[in-house]
Structure 1
Amino acid sequence: MPSTPAGNVRGANSPGRTAVVTGAGSGIGREVARQLLADGYRVALAGRREAQLEETAARNPDALVVPCDITRPTDVERLFQAVRERWGRVDVLFNNAGVFGPAAGVDEISLEDWNDTLAVNLTGAMLCAAAAVRAMKSQEPQGGRIINNGSIAAHSPRPRTVAYTVTKHAITGLTKSIELDGRGFGITCGQIDIGNTATELMDTIGVGAGALQADGSRRVEPTFPVSDAARAVLMMANMPATASVGSVVITAAGMPFIGRG
């Protein structure tokens, strides 16, 4: 992917806090970015597909479009350099980019598919968090907030989702470690675990047509608007520095998650 020099990335100086959203070209990332912009944030939109990032930005002068592959350390460093050169600081990172990975059991998944899923969902999240922490430590005033997008899979997996489920359990460990290590620098880290918000991912696993259940049956499951999930992320972002939101679980009402369905 060609690099975009920081000086050529679109954006403008304006008052307000600065946020970075990965996976901002679609789904939850797109809606979170738009709600942050509407709330007065200056927002860097990161993702692999520049055209879709431009659609998210919708010519908002406070949107900074940065094509980025989060599995590449040089891309991640370029992303955060662009934000700091344009706006001087990083207040919030929504660590959102991810893939569902292959539908396969542990005995069926290929090593290539396993590594590809871990590279995006886990290593990419770690690289972005590391760059954000470095920025938050060095800026004045020091500090900031990282919000990791986990999943209901961080609590309870769906069948045949071993790679995705493992990465989302690992995100919980990443979240707790960042929260602990960031305490002395005014850095907080929390995790939002979202179940069945209406995005393209739900089409991938067939929720609307009948998602695979633990007993082998298929069941049409309820979904809820992605705007509602984004409002929960915005609430976490807007908490005062004196408060840390460690974990939020938000699901479609009636989703077969609590109890036995």
Structure 2
Amino acid sequence: MSELPNIENLYRLDGKVCVVTGASSGFGDRFARVMSAAGAKVVVAARRQERLEELVADLPDALAIQCDVSSDEQCKKLIDESISHYGRIDVLVNNAGTTDAVHPAEEANIDLFRKVVDVNLNSCFLLSALAAQDMLTRQEGSIINVASVHGLVASAPNLQPAYVASKAGLVNLTRELAVQWAKRGIRVNVLCPGYFETELTQVMFDDERSSSWIARNASMGRGGTPEELDGALLFLASSASSYVTGVPLPVDGGWIAR
């Protein structure tokens, strides 16, 4: 029987360089703080530079890089500057995302559809490919995509075809990249959060009808709070998940179990 692990160190990220997109608010801000608390050096990226600077001021070892992930050039700049500053990338968290306004699919708003897919799916492919070029030199790395429970089930009655398609695509892209890179040391997994109360979703939770709908559909009878993603994030980022790849991990209060 092998030795028991040091439980205190199992989820540590000491010395690891973690890049988090969409870090100016919500999940991304929380992810950056949690990874830093676990010992990581953190690169935070988003469009709102002022928000990033405020975040970096709270962290012991962090770098802010302004980045619109819908721009191929800015994605490449993010990866290049991260490596230039810290020498490597150990963990990439593709968290940046957007959504489409609620509308029926027959309205065929193809421009909005393309915009959502570009941010939610295409950028994740490009950033993953660019980060993997560095990770493959060491045969080690973890990529964590952030999809949604609606990457696994439809959004009805919300009617968000672009969001659902992009997140479902991200789930299967995760599987594809995981298989391609598994024997070369890179793990790729995808978080699928349910409905969480954040700055961006506060209006939904403040609305009695919407909050009641969330409570009815989550088996636990409530939405989530951001800290309830901490464990899943650190699990996928750390050596605790060394034999886990290609996995969609729902953190949804039992939403899809119903």
| TM-score bucket of the superposed structures, by smaller chain | 0.7 to 0.9
Partner of 1:248: 249
How many residues are treated as equivalent by the alignment?
Answer: 236
Cα distance in 2 for partners of 1:209, 1:113 equals: 28
Cα distance in 2 for partners of 1:180, 1:101 equals: 30
Spell out, residue by residue over 1:121-141, the C-alpha distance to the aligned partner (whole angstroms, 9 max, x if none). Answer: 011111111111111113xx3
Counterparts of 1:1-261 in structure 2 under 5 Å?
A: 16-138=15-137, 141-159=138-156, 160-203=159-202, 205=204, 208-211=207-210, 219=213, 221=215, 222-240=222-240, 242-245=242-245, 246-252=247-253, 256-259=255-258
1:256, distance to aligned residue in structure 2 (A) = 5.0
Q: What do you get for the CA RMSD once the two structures are aligned?
A: 2.0
Return closer, same or farther for 1:133/1:157 CA change in 2, 3 Å cut-off. same
Spell out, residue by residue over 1:184-223, the C-alpha distance to the aligned partner (whole angstroms, 9 max, x if none). Answer: 32111011110011113434656753239xxxxx725321
Return closer, same or farther for 1:256/1:188 CA change in 2, 3 Å cut-off. closer
Identity of aligned residues (%): 28
1:57, distance to aligned residue in structure 2 (A) = 1.9
Equivalent position SS for 2:136: helix
Return closer, same or farther for 1:173/1:39 CA change in 2, 3 Å cut-off. same
Return closer, same or farther for 1:185/1:75 CA change in 2, 3 Å cut-off. same
Give the AA of the match of 1:247. P
State TM-score, norm by structure 2.
Answer: 0.85
Give the AA of the match of 1:149. V
Cα distance in 1 for partners of 2:190, 2:206 equals: 23
**More helix as a share of residues:** 2
Between 146-155 and 223-232, the greater mean CA deviation after superposition = 223-232
Cα distance in 1 for partners of 2:206, 2:123 equals: 27
Cα distance in 1 for partners of 2:26, 2:230 equals: 10
1:30, distance to aligned residue in structure 2 (A) = 0.6
Spell out, residue by residue over 1:10-41, the C-alpha distance to the aligned partner (whole angstroms, 9 max, x if none). Answer: xxxxx711010010111111101000011110
Structure 1: tracts of 5 or more residues without a match: 1-14, 213-217
Equivalent position SS for 2:30: helix
Partner of 1:12: none
Equivalent position SS for 1:53: helix
State TM-score, norm by structure 1.
Answer: 0.84
Moved over 4 A (4+): 204-208
Return closer, same or farther for 1:207/1:186 CA change in 2, 3 Å cut-off. farther
